[in-house]
Chains A and B, each alone.
Chain A
Amino acid sequence: MPLSKQQVSSLVQLVASTTPDEIDCDGCLDHVAEFAETLLAGLPIESAMVAVQNHLQNCHCCQMEFETFLKALSGMDETSE
């Protein structure tokens, strides 16, 4: 089955954003808490955090997880009183 146009675009995007030194999914998990706090505080994304950002762009699995993580974080601090 040929790839759909959408899939070809995704592939081209994935290929274009490939860098030699990408972190893997565990590397992403190791830094994702810090990345989320940086993002939520509106601080600039620097050095180690760039690698996390790139991984999230290239890994659908971690990206979905990150969105869930942000929502869970917002729920964690909601108080019921």
Chain B
Amino acid sequence: MPEPMTSDPWVEKLKDPTQQEEALTALRVRLVRGLKKVFSSGGESFAEDIAQDALIRILEKIDQFEGRSQFPTWAMSIAVRLATSQVRRKHFKDVSLEQFADGEGLKLDVAVDTLPGAAEQIEQSSIYQNLSELIDDLSDRQQTAVRAVLSGMPVEEIANRTASNRNAVYKLVHDARTKLKSGLEAAGYSAEDLTGSIA
């Protein structure tokens, strides 16, 4: 067990019933000020509501604060995650995952550039060819998630539609990327070859 860190003044106050209210008020003011700067279009109460929810979450997680940053910075990271989750949910409300599972997998039949003949071009189409075959071996869930991510769908929203969670979707996509990468490596393409092919 690690030694408990020397306590932060914010943590001390928030844990002390005689000082908690004052500390919460001071923290709320700072959170609201920061949130209003970014979510100005969210309506007057948006920042206030998020700050309120964030304070509850911050108190729940306070023992996880390890003092690696200033306390208000850490607190704001929690508030921003709550706020962006809400904004995203609203923004992607009408987007369904079905469109990313179109039964065609991730077809890679992109037009090869019109400039013919260059060695880079040949390497690029060979990489795409390999990639296309490797993608066919991904599971349906992996293919759908990868396509959704490539279409700008946040992993959190994919999770909301698949009774999953954000970390699990990230892992699903990571597993897919790992498979594709090792397949391409087996075919003789290094990470540098890959980045070079799209440069």
Contacts and interface: CB of A to CB of B under 8 A. Distances in A.
Interface of A: 1-5, 7-18, 20, 22, 24-26, 29-34, 36-37, 58-61, 64-65, 68-69, 71-78
B80 A68 contact: yes
Contacts of A17: 191
B156 A61 contact: yes
A78 B22 CA distance: 20
A76 B88 CA distance: 22
A1 B151 CA distance: 12
Contacts of B154: 60-61, 64
A1 B34 CA distance: 41
Contact of B69 (A3, A8, A22, A33): A33
B128 A2 contact: no
Nearest to A32: B77
A64 B147 CA distance: 19
Contact of B181 (A7, A16, A29, A64): A16
A7 B151 contact: yes
Interface residues of B, number: 59
A12 B197 contact: yes
Contacts, number: 146
Nearest to B113: A5
Contact of B180 (A2, A15, A30): A15
B33 A76 contact: yes
B74 A33 contact: yes
The A interface is mostly helix, strand or loop, or mixed, namely helix
Interface in B63-94: 64, 68-70, 72-74, 76-81, 83-84
Contacts of A3: 106-108, 110, 147, 150
B184 interface: yes
B73 A16 contact: no
Contact of B152 (A8, A37, A60, A71): A60
B167 A26 contact: yes
Nearest to B29: A76
A34 B178 CA distance: 28
B62 interface: no
B98 interface: no
